[in-house]
Amino acid sequence: MLAATAQSNADKANTTTIEKFSGSGESLGYIETPKVVKSDAEWRQILSVEQYEVTRNAGTEIPFSGVYWNNRDDGLYRCICCDTAQFDSRTKFESRTGWPSFYRPISRENVVQSQDDSLGMHRTAISCALCDAHLGHVFHDGPQPTGLRYCMNSAALRFVARTA
């Protein structure tokens, strides 16, 4: 019985629940799915050097250098590693920081928060719930209605124009 319980707990640790979204941004509901796990070599094969450094090593791109910092098109921002929907352009705002900023994720299920005390600062890191890709950080200096600023790296995201 203990072995079965241990295996069940291990299976749950290797799965996550995420909210799926259509190309128009409509929720398709929640699914429980295995986490995306790849070796460093596999990630290096599918990501650029910058994407790998940001998503797998919690790097940060240079401000005003990312492709999406000033993108004003309508659509969804998806994780570059696993395509999970992370942000809707309708929650994007100009933060004047040089990184794409949003006042909330598209779904709380799709992101994970963790403490980041690197660089002598106390911050909250944001990662993809499905593949553990580092996306950026969240700060408490954003606009209403949340007062939050999800400051993301363009290198961690893939923008997809909204479909009808």
Residue 114, beta-bridge partner list: 125
151 classed as catalytic: yes
The C-alpha atoms of residue 58 and residue 156 are separated, in whole angstroms, by: 10
Given 79, 81, 131, 151, which residue is catalytic?
Answer: 151
Could you tell me the end-to-end alpha-carbon distance of the chain, in angstroms, rounded to an integer?
51
163 three-class SS: coil
- DSSP letter for 162, please: P
CB 90, CB 74: distance < 8 Å: yes
Among the residues of the chain, which ranges form H helices?
Answer: 2-13, 40-46, 49-57
- Any idea which residues carry the catalytic annotation? 151
